[in-house]
Structures are given as structure tokens and as C-alpha cells.
């Protein structure tokens, strides 16, 4: 069974803390994505990566960075968390060159910044 | 840039009835894919149905079907014989080969017993 695993389902962090959200996939996918989901705004792409050490900005990259040192792992980093980053974060992965129907999602990480 | 618009933030339907969720999109591409995803309270995104833009025939998956109007850039989802398990957020999404999905803002569907 295919699997995208987000290590933390629920986190509470303080303003100014550095936050790491980890995502691991076991399908040997080239592409990995981080989305942010907010009520009324849908899913918005933060960053994606199509290969190890490669990354591209999505629609809302400000305040975030990413790391992909290994093919199976894609980390989202909040260098200095702020309250407006309270949200649900979804990781996803897919094969490079697919037709979009092979994108698999994790179960989400709820982040609250206080 | 591509945009996807879902103009119905919330919809409700009686159990066993039919409901249609609307989606419009804007693109200058001619070859692309459209999707409907379901997100139940568990938050797991589930692919409901997929449509290739080059196909004129509307996609169907059991009780789920789409009305794809390419010229109008419209892609609605029809759910027939609604069931309690259909209650969820539904997202329309667009893909044209740049490896990224662009999502709409979602429609929350409530099923009334």
C-alpha cells in the first residue's frame, strides 16, 4: 500500500520558534510537495521538489523553506514561526512526468503557533 | 497562471438525492487534466474522478460523473443517490504537465438524512 507519512499530526509551537515538518514517502517518487490548507482558501502550494536537492517555489513560499537531502524525505521549515502560519499542512508526492492522477497525499499536520 | 474557482462554499442534499458541485477554471493551455478530490473529516485526500481535456466524453465513476464543458471552462461534479459517506469537502483541481496541482477553494457537502 502506498504511503505518504507526515511525522507529526498535531503541533503547538511558540512565536519565533523554528519548526520542522517532516514528510516521508515509500513509493520512490521524484516529486514531493508541501501545501497549506486554510478555510475558504483551499490548498495553496508552498514549495515543491522534483529531485533530491532541487526545489521550486510555489504560490506562497514567504516565511518557509524546504530541504530534500534524500529522495524519500521532504522537510518544510518555518525559520521563525508566526501566528499567521497556524494552519494545516499537507505533504504529497508523485512520479515525475505523470498525468496528475498519481499524486498521493499524507494525512496532514495541524500546526498551531501561539 | 491557472486559476480554479469553486463558487459554492457549502452545499447540502437529502440522502438518496442528486447534487451538483460547480467548478470553473481559467487557462490558456489546451491539453490538461481536471480532478475532483474528496476530503472527509479524516483529512485524507481521496481522488474521486479525473477528466482529460482532450476527451470529449464525460468521465464517470459509479455514482460520480462530471459535466465537462471545455469551451466554457466548466467542470461540475454530479453525485447521484447521495449517501451519508459522501459528506466531505470537495476540491476541484487542475493539472497541465508542470507537475503541480492547482486547487479551488473547496465546497463543503452536507448530507441530510
Q: pLDDT digits over A75-94, tens only?
A: 999 999 999 999 999 999 98
pLDDT given at position B43: 85
List, for residues B43-90, the tens digit of each pLDDT value. 889 999 999 898 889 999 999 999 999 999 999 999 999 999 999 999
Facing residues of A91 across strands?
A: A34
Query: What's the grid cell of residue B5?
Result: 474557482
* CB-CB contact of B15 with B109 (8 Å): no
Q: Alpha-carbon distance A31 to A13, whole Å? A: 28
Q: Are strands A56-57 and A104-105 parallel, antiparallel or unpaired?
A: unpaired
pLDDT given at position A1: 66
Q: Tell me, yes or no, if A1 comes closer than 8 A to chain B by beta carbon.
A: no
Q: Tell me, yes or no, if B102 comes closer than 8 A to chain A by beta carbon.
A: yes
Taking residues A19-30, report their average pLDDT.
Answer: 94
Count of alpha carbons within 13 Å of A43, Cβ hemisphere only?
Answer: 26
Q: Tell me, yes or no, if B99 comes closer than 8 A to chain A by beta carbon.
A: yes
pLDDT given at position A2: 65
pLDDT tops 60 at residue A102: yes
Cα distance between the two ends of chain B:
41
Nearest to B9 by CA among B84, B78, B111, B104: B104
pLDDT tops 90 at residue A58: yes
Percent of chain B exceeding pLDDT 70 equals: 99
Count of alpha carbons within 13 Å of B60, Cβ hemisphere only?
Answer: 5
In this structure, what are the phi and psi dihedrals at residue B66, rounded to the nearest 5 degrees? -120, 155
Q: Do the Cβ atoms of A42 and B104 come within 8 Å?
A: yes
Taking residues A50-79, report their average pLDDT.
Answer: 95
pLDDT given at position A83: 97
pLDDT given at position B101: 86
Q: If you average pLDDT over every residue of chain A, what do you get?
A: 92
List, for residues B9-52, the tens digit of each pLDDT value. 999 999 999 999 999 999 998 888 999 999 998 888 999 999 98
For residue B35, list chain A residues with Cβ-Cβ distance below 8 A. 100-101
pLDDT given at position A98: 63
pLDDT given at position B22: 98
The dihedral over CA atoms of B1, B32, B37, A86, expressed in degrees to the nearest 10, equals: -20
Amino acid at each position: 500500500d502506498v504511503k505518504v507519512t507526515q511525522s507529526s499530526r498535531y503541533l503547538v509551537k511558540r512565536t519565533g520558534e523554528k519548526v520542522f515538518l517532516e514528510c516521508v514517502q515509500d513509493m520512490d517518487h521524484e516529486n514531493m510537495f508541501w501545501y497549506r490548507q486554510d478555510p475558504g482558501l483551499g490548498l495553496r502550494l508552498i514549495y515543491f521538489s522534483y529531485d533530491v536537492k532541487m526545489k521550486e517555489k510555489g504560490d506562497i513560499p514567504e516565511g518557509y523553506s524546504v530541504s530534500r537531502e534524500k529522495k524519500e524525505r521532504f522537510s518544510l521549515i518555518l525559520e521563525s514561526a508566526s501566528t499567521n502560519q497556524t494552519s494545516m499542512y499537507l505533504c504529497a508526492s508523485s512520479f515525475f512526468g505523470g498525468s496528475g492522477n498519481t499524486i498521493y497525499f499524507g494525512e496532514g499536520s495541524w500546526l498551531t503557533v501561539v | 497562471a491557472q486559476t480554479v474557482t469553486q463558487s459554492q462554499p457549502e452545499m447540502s442534499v437529502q440522502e438518496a438525492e442528486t447534487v451538483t458541485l460547480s467548478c470553473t477554471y481559467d487557462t490558456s493551455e489546451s491539453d490538461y487534466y481536471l480532478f475532483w478530490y474528496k476530503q472527509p473529516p479524516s483529512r485524507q485526500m481521496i481522488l474521486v474522478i479525473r477528466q482529460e481535456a482532450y476527451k470529449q466524453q464525460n468521465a464517470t465513476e459509479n455514482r460520480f460523473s462530471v459535466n465537462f464543458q471545455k469551451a466554457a471552462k466548466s467542470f461540475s461534479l454530479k453525485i447521484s443517490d447521495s449517501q451519508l459517506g459522501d459528506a466531505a469537502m470537495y476540491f476541484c483541481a487542475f493539472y497541465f504537465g508542470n507537475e503541480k496541482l492547482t486547487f479551488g477553494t473547496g465546497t463543503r457537502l452536507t448530507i441530510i438524512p
